[in-house]
Structures are given as structure tokens and as C-alpha cells.
Amino acid sequence: MPSSLSKASKVQGVSRGHPLPRCGRRGNAASPDPIPDGASLRIASRIRAWGELLDRLGWCVVVDLPDRRGGWVGNAARDWLSRNAPCETVDGRLSPQLMDRFREMIPVAQIRISTPELLVWSSAQNSPEPTPAEDTPLPTLSARQREILGWTRDGKTSGEIAVILGRATRTVEKHLENIYRKLGVRSRSSLILSAGHAPFQGQADA
């Protein structure tokens, strides 16, 4: 060991009135992650809010965030993982290695966004030819009902649809009641959220 270094390591340094930087247990290079500052926390909160929204829209979202929990995994992603990779656990910190393992497991065609920090994929299976979902009841709607559904999801009221179609408002409401019954919903909001943009055959031009 060089003399100057060995000598230096024996001396405990204190500089009066000046805060000394802290050393980690294994030296400064291995010290714990710094606490994110306000700007970082704001972005992290925004990412998390968007992650939750996309999760509720059925997207599988995994995002590595520098917070205490070490990242966020949406419920849809957890369900997907429990179905497709039951042995993988995501309770700990989302390490780059774990993110890489997810990328290996998820079919490439289903991945929408893949960055070192973020993974968004669709839980729905892709097929070469687009086909309407098997459980969608939309093809059972009549042409007029599909037309009214199209105007409804554009935010038109029953009165406005009646004017557009040249029918009475009560007629449009009756059509809507039939649509509710066929699709098993109880309100216009539920109708738009559950079937608003689902693909179906023979959609009327609206």
C-alpha cells in the first residue's frame, strides 16, 4: 500500500462547521438511491396515474419507478403474469433483469411500448385475420340500432338523434331501451364504456 494512502486512511477527518457527505456502507458508490426531488415525484405521480387508467382500460402495464416500492405493476399485468408465468413474482423491486424477463415472455406482437423503464402490452391474443370478439353481442343489433349506437357514442342526445334520423324522440328512446336490454347495460354511460368502440360487422355510416 502506498505510504500516503495508508497514512490517510488512519486519519478521521472533521471539518468544523461544514457538513460532510455521507458514505454508504460499501463506500459512496454503493450508497442507497437518493430520494427523488419534487419534479421527479410529480412525473412519477403522473406516470402512475396514467398507468392506473391504462390498466383499467385493459392494458397490461409495468413501470419501473424510483419510489419506495420500486415500481408499479397494474392488475391486468398481474393477472396476465399469473396466467402465463405463475412462477414469476413481482413483489420486489422491478430490476432491469426482471423487465428483460417480462420482455422475453410476452409475445412480440402484443407489446405496444417497450423501454428500459416501461412495458405496455395487450392481454388480448392476436390473430392474423381480424375477427370480431366471440363474446361481443354487437352483431345481434339491427342496422337502425347500430346507427343509433354510433350517434350515441358521438355524444348525441336522444332528441338530437331523432332530428338526425327524422324520427320521434320516443322512437329513438325505444331503440335505446332495446339496445340496453340486448347488451345487458342499464345506462347510457355503461353503454358507451362497454360497447362504445367495439368492432362489429355491418356498422352503419354515421
Partner 1 sequence: MPPSKVKPMPDFREITDVGMRGIDRMLRGMEELDDLHELERRMISEAPRILEAENLAWNNWAPDWSGLISGSLTDAYMGRFASLLGTFSEVVGHHPILSVGEHMRSHTEVLRLSDFESYGKFRKNPLFREVYRHLDSHFQLCHTPCRLADRLILLNLNRRSRDFAERDRQMLHYLGLKLDPLVRRVEQREHLQRAWNGLSDFVGSMGAGELALLGDHQVRILSDLLLHPSRESIARLRGIRRDTLDKKLGVIRERLGLENHHQLLSALSAMNSRNHTHPPQDPQGK
Site for partner 1 in 65-94 (CB under 8 A): 65-66, 76
| CA–CA separation, 32 and 114 (whole Å) | 27
Site for partner 1 in 98-127 (CB under 8 A): 109, 112-113, 115-118, 120, 122-126
Total residues contacting partner 1 (rule CB under 8 A)? Answer: 83
| CB closer to partner 1, 143 vs 193 | 193
Choice from 26, 68, 86, 205 touching partner 1 (CB under 8 A): 26
Task: Give the residue among 135, 134, 136, 131 at the shortest CA–CA distance from 146.
Answer: 136
| CB closer to partner 1, 31 vs 84 | 31
Interface stretch with partner 1, choices 51-59, 79-87, 138-146, 166-174 (CB under 8 A): 51-59
Binding mask 141-180 for partner 1 (x = CB under 8 A): -----------xxxx-------------------------
Minimum distance, C-beta of residue 87 to partner 1, in the bound complex (Å)? 25
**Cβ proximity of 159 and 170 under 8 Å:** no
Minimum distance, C-beta of residue 178 to partner 1, in the bound complex (Å)? 19
| CB closer to partner 1, 140 vs 157 | 157
